[in-house]
């Protein structure tokens, strides 16, 4: 991105009352440095954490916080601000503000501006780990995602409370990268239809037991969100996961077993331009599924006979014609050789390699560390990033901005 990548862009930066508000000062500085015109809107409690003077000095505009300026009685129009903004970013977004935004409780300038915003909105939640994990926060985030708000996931680490866990506001650099990508990529996949698979498959043994794996679905969901944010129509075929937040342009199709996943992929694939297969599909399933709970027997051993599942990637590979097919390879050893052989065997155009030997990669993590290998063996290695940013790198590789341009960006 160029140094003035946000030249001429109008951004409303909403700041709420949390300790992470100190990071918003740096975020504001980065946005302004890149050429954006930024209007800061603070909640009353945000002013307990940082002063409006600091923010107005950096933005060159008086901070808006109240509906009226006390001494002049001047009224601040949230409607005008909503119309002026090309983008609104709320960082940090506290649990309280997320709740108000999700439910339209317009009791301060920030939430009324949000309700008036005509363009895209991003929120960067920041709170203590238990607040972030609470069903109420999860529900509010899910509602906001359903309304089209882009959620910039918090990171994990030491929190202001001294506890360690998920809840730290994303770093200002990551937020700025998301902003830059939004302006450079929004609408770039309009008219494209993309099939994405996510999560594990569960292969039933009996009505209460199954063979499964540790996939959380985070990687596939991040891909779906990133593709939809770029304007694509996305069909997300997902195994059993607990994730709920989804961009409204994502059509979610829930499945359980590898056979179910194959059936739904076969329905979707012909209408798609591209499929990205991030699901961890069970290679084998029990040959027989008991229709009643299997009882504990006297014998020390029990044998469950397994039969091979269909290979979804290979099946789609055999019928892909001009469609682009991207697979993942999750490896523990001989990573590159195994990935190359999977790409060949399944007739993939590209394979995303992640290794369980990398502590920041793989199942359940919020981050991933990938190599993207194209059919001619060209490889691009990326540092560990949040899964959402990894998803952006994968989309950049699959849909390079211009034909003939270097396929991958480091
Ligand atoms: O869900 P998360 O917790 O975020 O974790 C993400 C992830 C680790 C699951 C993801 O990044 C990943 O690596 N997904 C692929 C895991 C896997 O099963 O890889 P594989 O090497 O076994 O399979 C290779 C490819 O073939 C994959 O694209 C897989 O979807 C596909 N496959 C595999 C078996 C099968 N029967 N059918 C398939 O389509």
Q: Determine the pLDDT at residue 2.
A: 63
Strands (DSSP E) along 45-163, which ranges? 87-93, 120-125, 150-151, 155-158
Q: What atom of ligand 1 comes closest to residue 361's alpha carbon?
A: 8
Are 26 and 52 in contact, with CB atoms under 8 Å apart? no
Q: Name the closest-CA residue to atom 14, ligand 1.
A: 278
Q: What is the DSSP letter of 75?
A: B
Q: Ligand 1 pocket: which of 196, 279, 306, 353 to mutate (most atoms <8 Å of CB)? A: 279
Residue 85 Cα to ligand 1 midpoint, Å, equals 40
C-alpha–C-alpha distance, residues 262 and 309, integer Å: 10
Residue 80 Cα to ligand 1 midpoint, Å, equals 47
pLDDT tens for residues 135-177?
A: 999 999 989 988 889 999 999 888 887 888 889 999 999 999 9
Residue 214 CB neighbour total at 10 angstroms: 10
369 by Cβ neighbours in 10 Å (0-12 / 13-18 / 19+) ranks as: buried
Residue 198 Cα to ligand 1 midpoint, Å, equals 8
Per-residue pLDDT of the chain (410 residues), as tens digits, is: 567 889 999 999 999 999 999 999 999 999 999 999 999 999 999 999 999 999 999 999 999 988 766 666 677 777 788 889 999 999 999 999 999 999 999 999 999 999 999 889 999 999 999 999 999 999 999 899 888 899 999 998 888 878 888 899 999 999 999 999 899 888 899 999 999 999 999 999 999 999 999 999 999 999 999 999 899 999 999 999 999 877 888 999 999 999 999 999 999 999 999 999 999 999 999 999 999 999 988 888 999 999 999 999 999 999 999 999 999 999 999 999 999 999 999 999 999 999 999 999 999 998 999 999 999 999 999 999 889 889 999 999 999 875 433 333 32
Q: What atom of ligand 1 comes closest to residue 213's alpha carbon?
A: 9
Q: Ligand 1 pocket: which of 199, 213, 214, 215 to mutate (most atoms <8 Å of CB)? A: 215
368: enclosing H helix or E strand:
strand 367-368
Residue 214 Cα to ligand 1 midpoint, Å, equals 11
pTM strictly above 0.75: yes
Nearest Cα to Cα of residue 196 among 245, 149, 243, 234? 234
Q: Ligand 1 pocket: which of 329, 338, 344, 372 to mutate (most atoms <8 Å of CB)? A: 329
Residue 238 Cα to ligand 1 midpoint, Å, equals 12
Domains, the chain, ordered by start: 10-185 (3.40.50.1950), 193-398 (3.40.50.10300)
C-alpha–C-alpha distance, residues 386 and 154, integer Å: 10
Q: What atom of ligand 1 comes closest to residue 216's alpha carbon?
A: 3
Name all residues whose Cβ lies below 6 A of ligand 1: 197, 199, 215-219, 258, 277-281, 283, 309, 311-313, 327-330, 342, 354, 362-364, 368
Residue 338 is among the residues annotated as catalytic for this protein: no
Residue 286 Cα to ligand 1 midpoint, Å, equals 19
Q: Name the closest-CA residue to atom 17, ligand 1.
A: 280
Single out the catalytic residue among 213, 309, 338, 354: 213
Q: Name the closest-CA residue to atom 8, ligand 1.
A: 362
Residue 367 Cα to ligand 1 midpoint, Å, equals 16
Q: Name the closest-CA residue to atom 33, ligand 1.
A: 281
Q: Name the closest-CA residue to atom 20, ligand 1.
A: 329
Q: What is the DSSP letter of 46?
A: G
Residue 305: phi, psi to the nearest 5?
-80, 130
Q: What atom of ligand 1 comes closest to residue 342's alpha carbon?
A: 24
Q: Determine the pLDDT at residue 72.
A: 67
Q: What atom of ligand 1 comes closest to residue 315's alpha carbon?
A: 39
C-alpha–C-alpha distance, residues 52 and 1, integer Å: 30
User: In the structure encoding, which two tokens stand for residue 4, read together?
Assistant: 């003035």
Q: What atom of ligand 1 comes closest to residue 199's alpha carbon?
A: 1
User: In the structure encoding, which two tokens stand for residue 256, read together?
Assistant: 């359980």
């Amino acid at each position: 991105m160029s140094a003035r990548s946000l030249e001429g862009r109008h951004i409303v930066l909403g700041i709420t009352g949390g300790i992470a508000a100190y990071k918003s000062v740096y975020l504001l500085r980065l946005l302004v440095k890149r050429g954006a015109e930024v209007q800061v809107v603070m909640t009353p409690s945000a002013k307990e954490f940082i002063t409006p003077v600091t923010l107005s000095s950096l933005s060159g505009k008086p901070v808006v916080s109240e509906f009226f300026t006390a001494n002049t009685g001047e009224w601040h129009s949230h409607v005008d601000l909503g119309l002026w903004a090309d983008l609104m970013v709320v960082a940090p977004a506290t649990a309280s503000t997320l709740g108000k935004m999700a439910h339209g409780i317009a009791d301060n300038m920030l939430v009324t501006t949000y309700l008036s915003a005509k363009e895209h909105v991003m929120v960067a939640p920041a709170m203590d780990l238990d607040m972030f994990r609470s069903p109420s926060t999860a529900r509010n985030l899910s509602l906001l995602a359903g309304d089209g708000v882009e959620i910039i996931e918090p990171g994990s680490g030491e929190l202001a409370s001294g506890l360690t866990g998920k809840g730290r506001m994303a770093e200002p650099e990551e937020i700025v990268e998301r902003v830059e990508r939004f302006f450079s990529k929004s609408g770039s996949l309009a008219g494209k239809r993309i099939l994405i698979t996510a999560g594990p498959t569960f292969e039933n043994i009996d009505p209460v037991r199954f063979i499964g794996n540790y996939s959380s679905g985070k990687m596939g969901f991040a891909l779906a969100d990133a593709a939809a944010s770029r304007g694509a129509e996305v069909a997300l075929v997902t195994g059993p996961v607990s994730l709920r937040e989804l961009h409204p342009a994502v059509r979610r199709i829930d499945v359980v077993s590898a056979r179910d996943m194959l059936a739904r992929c076969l329905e979707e694939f012909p209408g798609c331009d591209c499929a990205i297969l991030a699901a961890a599909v069970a290679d084998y399933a029990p040959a027989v599924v008991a229709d009643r709970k299997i009882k504990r027997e006297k014998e020390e051993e029990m044998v469950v006979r397994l039969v091979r599942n269909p290979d979804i990637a290979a099946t789609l590979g055999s019928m892909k014609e001009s469609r682009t097919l991207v697979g993942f390879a999750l490896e523990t050893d001989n990573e590159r050789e195994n990935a190359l052989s999977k790409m060949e065997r399944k007739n993939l155009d590209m394979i995303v390699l992640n290794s369980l030997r990398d502590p920041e990669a793989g199942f359940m993590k919020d981050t991933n560390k990938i190599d993207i290998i194209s059919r001619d063996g060209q490889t691009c290695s990326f540092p560990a990033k949040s899964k959402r940013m990894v998803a952006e790198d994968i989309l950049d590789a699959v849909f390079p901005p211009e034909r003939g341009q270097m396929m991958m960006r480091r």
